[in-house]
Structure 1
Amino acid sequence: MNYLSGQMFDDKLDLAYAVIDGIQARGEKGNYSTERFKFYSNQTA
Structure 2
Amino acid sequence: MQEKPQVAAFIAFYLQNLDDNIKDVGYFPAPKKNIYASWGAWLYALLNQ
TM-score, normalisation: structure 1: 0.45
Higher helix share: 2
Query: Which protein shows a greater Rg?
Result: 1
TM-score by length of 2: 0.43
